[in-house]
């Protein structure tokens, strides 16, 4: 029931975010966001100074690293992105959304 908001961020294509749990819900430390990347979509190729954890719910995608190597991701996979690691998440399917939970420290939501 949480509204999907399209990401208005340079380099983001067909990416939607839902904030499912955060400080506003009483979580003292972590924020869980659900990202839906539609076919042909991707997050920006970027870095930040905090780690985040991704749990793949559905679809097929890839985590692209600094060397632009695509690490395949599928349902039930878990990926960690360390602070300052350049990365991008891409939907690699032609016909289904790529959906993941992304956990970050509250102060970065």
Dump pLDDT digits (tens) for 10-19.
Answer: 999 999 999 9
Cα angle for residues 59, 4, 46 (degrees, 5° grid): 70
pLDDT band at 109 (very low <50, low <70, confident <90, very high): confident
**pLDDT one-digit tens code per residue, 38-76:** 999 999 999 999 999 999 999 999 999 988 889 999 999
Residue 16 and residue 7 in contact, taking contact as beta carbons nearer than 8 Å? yes
Mean pLDDT (the chain, rounded): 95
Q: What residues contact residue 9 under an 8 Å CB cut-off, 6+ apart?
A: 15, 44
Q: What is the pTM of this model?
A: 0.94
Residue 108 has pLDDT above 90, yes or no: no
pLDDT digits (tens, 9 = 90+) for 75-92: 999 999 999 999 999 999
Q: How far is CA 88 from the centre of its chain?
A: 8
Sequential DSSP letters for 79-99: EEE-TT--BEEEE--SSS-EE
Tell me the percentage of the chain whose pLDDT exceeds 90: 93
Query: Which residues make Cβ contacts (< 8 Å) with residue 89, sequence separation at least 6?
Result: 35, 37, 42, 43, 54, 61, 62, 63, 64, 73, 98, 100
Q: Quick check: helix, strand or coil at residue 52?
A: strand
């Amino acid at each position: 029931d949480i509204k999907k908001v399209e990401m208005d961020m340079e380099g983001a294509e067909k990416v939607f975010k839902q904030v499912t749990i955060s400080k506003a819900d009483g979580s003292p430390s972590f924020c869980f966001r659900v990202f839906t990347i539609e076919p042909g979509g991707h997050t920006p190729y970027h870095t930040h100074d905090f780690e985040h954890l991704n749990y793949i719910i559905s679809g097929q995608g890839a985590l692209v690293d600094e060397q632009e190597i695509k690490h395949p991701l599928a349902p039930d996979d878990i990926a960690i992105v360390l602070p300052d690691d350049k990365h991008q998440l891409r939907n690699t399917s032609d016909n289904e959304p790529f959906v993941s939970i992304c956990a970050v420290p509250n102060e970065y939501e």
